[in-house]
Structures are given as structure tokens and as C-alpha cells.
Amino acid sequence: MTAGLHLVTDERLGRDRLLAVVAAAAGAGVAAVQVRAKHATAREFTDLVAAISAAVAGRALVLVNDRVDVALAARHVGVRVDGVHLGQDDLDPVVARTLLGPDATVGWTAHAPEHLQAAHVLPPGTVDYLGVGLVHPTTSKADGPPVLGVDGFGAFAHAAPLPCIAIGGVRLADVPGLMAAGAHGVAVVSAISEAADPGRAAADLVAAAGGAR
């Protein structure tokens, strides 16, 4: 189930801190942990996915960002990986679905009119949700797309054929407005990873998303 809070991992953290943040967030009830490692080799990324999956311990979905090959490699060695979240420049989601199978979770980044059009013509069952943003500017994705704001997100979500997860600089105070605007859930990086108490921050975000729904 993809509804609710997604934690996107921050590769700027040291490994011990990262795993502690993931474990705390999983304990607080996040729906999914998206493992992002844009600067890692395939071997490093696969090892990180294994470590994060162990920290999650079945309490949330584990989704690999961008790399279907890493998701498949981790599964091959017995790691629980539930699916992938793909960007527009990554493997075609139709191909990803074929490789990962019908039970995998597949998310797809979308933020422009052409992405919305492409989502409308996807074969049914290809993608489970769209990751839509940026809601606000964010330091974790300096090269990100233009900022939509809450209203822009809401317009996109209402026009989309799939559930939409809001991402990009999302903070606790934003969650009720985003959920009211049509969000299926929210995805955060620094709102949890930079918090003094990541577990408490995650719990507050989970409660806000659940209550708003």
C-alpha cells in the first residue's frame, strides 16, 4: 500500500546515521522507504539496499529509486525489495513492470503536462502511483523541476489518472493542505533525516497524513 508517508533516503548521511533514521521511520509507521543513491556504483547500491531492507524489517515497502537492475540484483540474493520508483529518464515503466512482475510496486516521477499525458496512456497496472513535485524548493534535489506549490500539485493530482505522492521540500505544516489538495501521500527527505528525533518527526508526519486522509 503506497498511501501515506514515504521516506526518501539521504545519501549525504553517514551509513550508521542513515540506517538509524530508516529504522526509526519504519518503527513510526512510514508506508515506504525509497532508497536513493545517485552517486553509488551498482555494487554499492545493492549492498545499501540490503542494509536498508534489513533495517526496515518488513515494516514498510522498500523501493529502489531509478535502478531496476539494482532491485533485481538485490532480490536475486534474497533481499526483500518491493519495487522501484523511476524517474522520467530511467527505464520505461512498462519494461520495469515486465521485469519485476505483477506484484511489484512501481512509482513514476511526473511533474509536467507531457508526463501527465504519458501516464494517461500507460497500460493498466503498469504504474501504481506518481511522485509529483517539487512542492517547495529543496536542497536534497538541487537540479529538480520547477516548483509547483500546493495549488499546482493539487491541479496536477486532480488531472492525473493515478494516485499522486507529493514531494519536494514537504514539511509537517504542509501535509494537511497537500492531502486536502488530493495527495495520496507525501514523500520527504530532510523533514525526517535532519530532525533531532527522526522517529518523532516521522510519527508526526504519519499522523498528519493519516488524519488528513
The dihedrals phi and psi of 152, each to the nearest 5 degrees, come to -65, -40
Each residue of 72-99: pLDDT tens digit?
Answer: 999 999 999 999 999 999 999 999 999 9
Mean pLDDT per 10-residue interval, the chain, length 213 residues: 94 96 98 96 98 98 98 98 97 98 98 96 98 87 79 97 97 97 97 97 96 52
Give the global pTM. 0.95
63 and 93 Cβ atoms separated by less than 8 Å:
no
The dihedrals phi and psi of 195, each to the nearest 5 degrees, come to -75, 145
Closest CA to 174 of 124, 127, 138: 138
Check the annotation: does 139 bind a ligand: yes
Check the annotation: does 117 bind a ligand: no
Check the annotation: does 65 bind a ligand: yes
Check the annotation: does 141 bind a ligand: yes
Which architecture, in CATH terms, is 4-212? Alpha-Beta Barrel (3.20)
